[in-house]
Amino acid sequence: MYVCSREHGQPCASAPRATYHPNPFYPEEARRQKLSGRVVLSTIITTEGTAANLRISKSAGHGFDEAAIECVKRWKFDPGLYDGKPVPVAMEMEVDFKLY
């Protein structure tokens, strides 16, 4: 199931909502080089509110990809709903890494 969009018409579900989303650990290699990056992940948010089948859609290298996957594995979600019932939902998400 997908969240409703131009690309994905009916049937579609409401979007899952992150309820617990700690920040990612910054890769030491990237910190030393003062790098920033954005990783795009494809995933399925399960009916239990966890991210499954995590895959890299857009890589940032320098350890960011692995850090993004480990981060999102810890996130918790309110699952997407279809007809008021929890359903697994395919989606993409971005994880940003910025030094402040």
Which CATH number belongs to the domain containing residue 49 in this structure?
3.30.2420.10
Range of the domain at 47: 17-97
Name the band, by pLDDT with cuts 50, 70 and 90, for residue 1. low
Structure-token pair, residue 7: 């690309």
Q: For the chain, what is the mean pLDDT?
A: 91
pTM: 0.86
Name the band, by pLDDT with cuts 50, 70 and 90, for residue 12. confident
* Mean pLDDT in residue range 58-69: 97
Domain-located, residue 70: yes
Q: What is the DSSP string of 8-75?
A: S-SS-BPPPEEEE-PPPPPPHHHHHTT--EEEEEEEEE-TTS-EEEEEEEE---TTHHHHHHHHHHH-
Q: Residue 92 is which amino acid? A: E
Domain-located, residue 32: yes
* Mean pLDDT in residue range 1-30: 82
Phi-psi map region of 30: left, alpha, beta (phi>0 left; psi -120 to 50 alpha): alpha
* Mean pLDDT in residue range 50-72: 97
How many Å apart are CA 94 and CA 21, to the nearest integer?
A: 12
Choose between 3 and 41: higher pLDDT: 41
